[in-house]
Amino acid sequence: MAASGDERRMVFDIRGRRKHVVKFVYAILALLMGASLFLVVGPVNIGSLLGNNESSNASAALVEQAEKVERKVNKDPENPELLAALTKSRISAGNSMAELNSETGAAELSPEGRVQLEKGSEAWSRYLKATDEPAAGLAQLVAPTLFTLAATASTDGEVSTNVKAAAKAQKIVAEQRPSKGSLATLATYQLYSFDYSGAKQSQQEAEKFANTKFERENLGNELEATEKRAREFEKQLQEIEKEAKKARQEGKSSLANPLNEANPLASP
């Protein structure tokens, strides 16, 4: 939200010592976003990353398709099949709008694409309320989408909400399609939602699918390293929340969210 003059309202104050805290938090999330965005976008959308007219037309067509499905949902708002279709179509539209960063060469979520993914997340929430048996295939698409939304969120609250939602979606996948990969992914999401006991249980289940001692040890080492990062992330996030609350109480203006502003903290 713009303010008078050159001053802007920002989510996190990144001046002074807090600058390093925010930099650490978003360095982690940027790395996570890179992995999760690859999982969401996948190789089929590489053409859309080039930003040519053909991919723009494809994006427009996907948005139009999603809007058609949404009109059907409006007539039958509790139909789980329609809600599943709406979730897929919104996510597909959002993924098609991914942009290629000319400096880093990395895929990035565009503002328009984020809007579509948020609508897909909303449709997913409605779908869960409308069905007693959520589909693992749809959950497998949604989980990394929610994690991408967490990594590009505007507030610490959005980060936490989306990471937890990603873990819940991935749990559906792991329960219906248990494997070393699905359970290890669940453990990772659980770690970043600070569910350490749940992550340990998921790790133990994942280890049952390991074929060799080396695989089990490698999995354990990777998740152990992830837990260390997650605990540090939790600690830094708590500090941000504490200082943000103090700033609000003192009526101080905040600085721009580093994820949404063009500054060195926005990308690793």
pLDDT of residue 21: 47
pLDDT of residue 4: 43
**What average pLDDT does the segment 28-52 reach?**
45
The answer to whether residue 222 scores a pLDDT higher than 60 is: yes
225: left (phi over 0), alpha (psi -120 to 50) or beta: alpha
Looking at domain 23-266, its CATH class is: mainly alpha
Task: List the one residue out of 97, 138, 142 whose CA is nearest residue 116.
Answer: 97
| Residue-wise burial string across 211-249, b where 16 or more C-beta atoms lie within 10 A, e elsewhere | eeeeebeebeeebeebbeebeebbebbebbeeebeebee
Question: Domains of the chain: which residue ranges?
Answer: 23-266
The type of residue at 37 is: L
The DSSP annotation for 170-196 comes to HHHHHHHS--HHHHHHHHHHHHHTT-H
- The band of 32, judged by pLDDT with boundaries at 50, 70 and 90, is low
* Weakest mean pLDDT among 2-16, 43-57, 185-199: 2-16
Q: What is the pLDDT of residues 87-119, one digit of tens each?
A: 999 999 999 998 877 777 677 888 999 999 999
pLDDT of residue 40: 44
- The band of 180, judged by pLDDT with boundaries at 50, 70 and 90, is very high
The answer to whether residue 247 scores a pLDDT higher than 60 is: yes
**What average pLDDT does the segment 184-189 reach?**
95
pLDDT of residue 239: 81
pLDDT of residue 140: 96
In sequence order, the 6+-apart residues with CB closer than 8 A to the CB of 121 are: 142, 145, 146, 149, 162, 165
- Its pTM stands at 0.76
- The band of 248, judged by pLDDT with boundaries at 50, 70 and 90, is confident
In sequence order, the 6+-apart residues with CB closer than 8 A to the CB of 188 are: 199, 223, 226
